[in-house]
Amino acid sequence: MSYVLVAERLGMEKGRAEGQAELLLLQIERRFGPVAKAVTQRVRRAQAKDLEAWSLNFVDATTLDDVFRD
């Protein structure tokens, strides 16, 4: 039986969020061009729930503002 310590679980969650943020930034850059530093910082500092919402928004977005809509 494998046990995951709280610290390990938090580390894994942080790693997933970082990966999700980097993927979203790559997608934004591919569709909309160079990413402003402020956008990069916003994405990298975001919580997992925001990254998930923005990633889903990206699918239908026609502008960068569409990605970050609520």
- Among residues 13, 7, 10, 68, which one has the least CA distance to residue 41? 68
Domain assignments of the chain as residue spans, ordered by start: 6-67
Per-residue pLDDT band at 1 (split at 50, 70, 90)? low
DSSP letter for 68, please.
T
Encode pLDDT of 30-46 as tens digits: 999 999 999 999 999 99
The stretch 11-29 carries a mean pLDDT of 92
